[in-house]
Amino acid sequence: MAKETLISVMKRYELKYRLSKENVALFMDEISKYMKMDGYGLTSIASLYLDTPDYRLINKSIEKPKFKEKVRVRSYGLNKGDKPVYLEVKRKYEKVVYKRRIPLLEKDVEAFLDGGPVGELSQIGRELRFLKDRYGRLEPKYLIIYDRIAYYQDESDLRLTLDMNPRYRVKDLNLHTSLDGSPLLNEGEAILEIKVQHSVPLWLVAILTKLKIYQSSFSKVGTAHRMECHKKKDSIDINYSNLEGGKNHGFTIQPHA
């Protein structure tokens, strides 16, 4: 296939690597011998992460539990209101990632967050309703943006993505204002994601070894959350805890008295 298929249910392994500015060019040169760039070329992707008022989902994810989930709204390019965005649940159990999503207009996502219906006749729609009821209020917390190049290999489930210039913002939390944001990495660095349903081929392992590229647990939204907490350290306390019973996971933000 020449382009990524936008499917509603995905299950795969996702391995992440943080590439230096020098390794980005070297890796692209090496990978072009085995894989093709998809038909979209360089594409800007914006993901609006939803969470509870007390950041329950992000805080638990940062603790790196065996199971975690995120809720986000994704747009391919700046949304002008005339094309669908994707309301998505991303779950990870150990190293296996499961994604389920449904296409909606941005205004319909806003209506859903205010209590309206969302694809109630579909299984994914019912899952999203259950999720919202379980967590209570969900609201936009972070907008994560990056410029992606994706690679595919004929007759293979292997897919690679290079996310350049990852950035974020906490204002204008929508998918139609702009694609601007504060940087998450040093200039020229990128995040490589290897996405595969089975095993990583030996030729790819050899490239990673040759370039000394090592696996990382980098999370874009987790990094944005840490950066925001660091900026506010003079006005908040960050309390780390790991109590039994699954309570108070990760870190919580508490204003000074």
Q: What is the pLDDT of residue 239?
A: 46
What percentage of residues in the chain have a pLDDT greater than 90?
56
Give the pLDDT band (50/70/90) at residue 248: very low
Nearest partner of 73 among 101, 96, 93, 54, judged by Cα = 101
Q: What is the pLDDT of residue 244?
A: 38
Burial of 103 (0-12, 13-18, 19+ CB in 10 A): middle
At residue 112, φ and ψ (nearest 5 deg) are: -60, -45
Domain at 9-219: CATH code = 3.20.100.30
pLDDT for position 122: 77
| pLDDT tens-digit map of 201-228 | 999 999 999 999 999 889 999 999 999 9
Render pLDDT for 101-150 as a digit per residue (tens, 0 to 9).
899 999 999 998 888 877 666 788 888 888 888 888 899 999 999 999 99
- Enter the pTM of the model: 0.83
**Phi-psi label, residue 81: left if phi above 0, alpha if psi -120 to 50, beta otherwise:** left
d(CA 22, CA 14): 23
Residue 191 has pLDDT above 90, yes or no: yes
Whether residue 245 has pLDDT greater than 80:
no
State how far Cα 76 lies from the chain centre.
13
192 has pLDDT over 60: yes
Q: At 242, is the pLDDT very low, low, confident or very high (cuts 50, 70, 90)?
A: very low
| Whether the predicted pLDDT of 87 surpasses 60 | yes
Q: Per-residue pLDDT averaged across 81-100, rounded?
A: 87
- Tell me the average pLDDT of the chain: 85
What are the tens digits of pLDDT across the range 40-62? 889 999 999 999 999 999 999 88
Domain ranges of the chain: 9-219
